[in-house]
Every structure is written in structure tokens, then in C-alpha cells.
């Protein structure tokens, strides 16, 4: 797991690998029961990650990582374009 990879990204990557392995092992059947389960699990994880409210709730619970200051600037660069924007020159914010 890289430093930038979140737990959710790791879970998705693992679920995708498990699904690929299950498909290879049971290549005779296009819809093995384990493949179906893994596809459903992967779809559920992706659905949660696509829901901003669910992501926010899980950030507050501490089950997923919070964005670092650098990540926020990367995701929302338009918020930091104006040098007079409050908070852009804060020296009291620790960078992750």
C-alpha cells in the first residue's frame, strides 16, 4: 500500500484481485457463486465511495482517512487561486 493509497482504494484493489482470481479458478462457469458475491461486494464499496455523504460520515467516524491540506489543494485548486483567499497563507496548519 502506497502512502497516498486510502484504505478504501486498497479494499477495492483487493476485491478486484480476488474477483480476477476467482474467475481464473472457475473459468468453466461464467457466473461462479463466489464471483457473483465478489462483484456485489465490489459494487457496494464503489457505491459508498461515490456517495459524498457516506464518505463524509466515514471520515468523521475515522474509518477512512481525512484529506491532508495538500490533498485538499489538489482536489479543490480553485479555492486557493486567489492569494487573498482566507487560509491560503496559514502557517499554523501542519502539512501532512
Nearest-angstrom CA–CA distance, 46 and 28: 28
* Residue that the C-alpha cell 462457469 belongs to: 29
Q: How far apart are CA 23 and CA 42, in angstroms?
A: 14
Mind listing the pLDDT tens digit of every residue in the chain (96 residues)?
Answer: 455 666 677 777 777 887 777 777 766 555 577 778 888 888 888 888 889 998 899 889 888 888 888 888 888 888 888 755 555 555 545 554
Cα separation, 14 vs 8, in Å, equals 10
- Domain residue spans of the chain: 7-65, 66-96
Whole-model pTM above 0.75? no
Query: What is the full DSSP assignment across 30-62?
Result: TT-HHHHHHHHHHHHHHHHHH-HHHHHHHHHHT
Please state, in angstroms and rounded to a whole number, the distance separating the CA atoms of residues 49 and 74.
18
Amino acid at each position: 500500500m502506497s502512502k497516498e493509497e486510502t484504505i478504501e482504494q486498497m479494499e477495492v484493489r483487493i476485491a478486484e484481485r480476488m474477483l480476477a482470481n476467482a474467475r481464473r479458478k472457475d473459468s468453466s462457469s461464467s457466473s461462479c457463486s463466489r464471483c457473483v458475491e465478489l462483484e456485489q461486494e465490489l459494487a457496494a464499496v464503489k457505491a459508498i465511495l461515490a456517495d459524498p455523504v457516506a464518505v463524509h460520515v466515514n471520515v468523521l467516524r475515522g474509518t477512512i482517512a481525512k484529506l491532508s491540506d495538500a490533498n485538499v489543494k489538489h482536489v479543490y485548486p480553485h479555492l486557493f487561486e486567489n492569494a487573498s483567499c482566507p487560509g491560503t497563507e496559514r502557517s499554523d496548519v501542519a502539512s501532512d
